[in-house]
């Protein structure tokens, strides 16, 4: 890195405070990201619920705007309704509303069976969100493409649109 370039770039400093110091920007940015990911994933989620927005505003945002963008992207992908609810946010946000429903759902299941059910459901949702694009689905699930293909074969997911 050349010192001359550093001084030239340092002539005008732009200081952008972290997101945690600009909480008034969170609703605006969240809406912007909601529109972006609605378009990207061909969804039609109308809004972020006041409860979910309240949780987002209270978060400390160590990852700044990129973290918010990632959270909204995942919420859009996994939302089942036309609104982002608190239970669509990651568990590290301290949301407990959906936990009792999950507990009730898995009563009587072994952990292996529960994992298989959830894994298949996640694969189906990823395929739905990506319009059946397996490469994009593998990236979304953060697994390798061959691993996704293996799991599709394992769970006999031939026609994902009719298996939901």
Q: What CATH number is given for 104-162 in this structure?
A: 1.10.10
Domain 15-96 has CATH 3.30.70.1090: no
Residue 52 class from Cβ within 10 Å (0-12 exposed, 13-18 middle, 19+ buried)?
buried
Per-residue pLDDT of the chain (164 residues; tens, 9 = 90+): 678 888 887 787 778 899 999 999 999 999 999 999 999 988 999 999 999 999 999 999 988 999 999 999 999 988 889 999 998 888 777 655 454 455 555 555 667 777 888 888 889 888 988 888 999 999 989 999 999 999 999 988 876 554 43
Predicted TM-score of the model (pTM): 0.55
**8 A C-beta contact, residue 131 and residue 156:** no
User: H or E segment at 101?
Assistant: helix 99-105
Domain ranges of the chain: 15-96, 104-162
């Amino acid at each position: 890195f050349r010192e001359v370039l550093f001084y030239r770039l340092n002539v005008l400093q732009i200081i952008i405070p972290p997101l945690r110091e600009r909480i008034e920007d969170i609703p605006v940015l969240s809406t912007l990201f909601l529109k972006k990911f609605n378009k990207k994933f061909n969804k039609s989620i109308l809004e972020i619920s006041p409860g979910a927005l309240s949780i987002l505003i209270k978060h400390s945002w160590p990852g700044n705007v990129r973290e918010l963008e990632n959270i909204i992207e995942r919420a859009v992908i996994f939302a089942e309704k036309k609104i982002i609810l608190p239970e669509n946010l990651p568990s590290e946000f301290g949301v407990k509303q959906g936990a009792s429903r999950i507990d009730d759902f898995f009563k009587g299941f072994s952990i292996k069976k529960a994992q298989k059910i959830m894994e298949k459901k996640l694969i189906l949702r990823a395929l739905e969100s990506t319009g059946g694009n397996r490469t994009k689905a593998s990236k979304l699930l953060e697994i390798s493409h061959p691993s996704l293909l293996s799991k599709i074969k394992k769970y006999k997911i031939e026609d994902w649109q009719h298996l939901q």
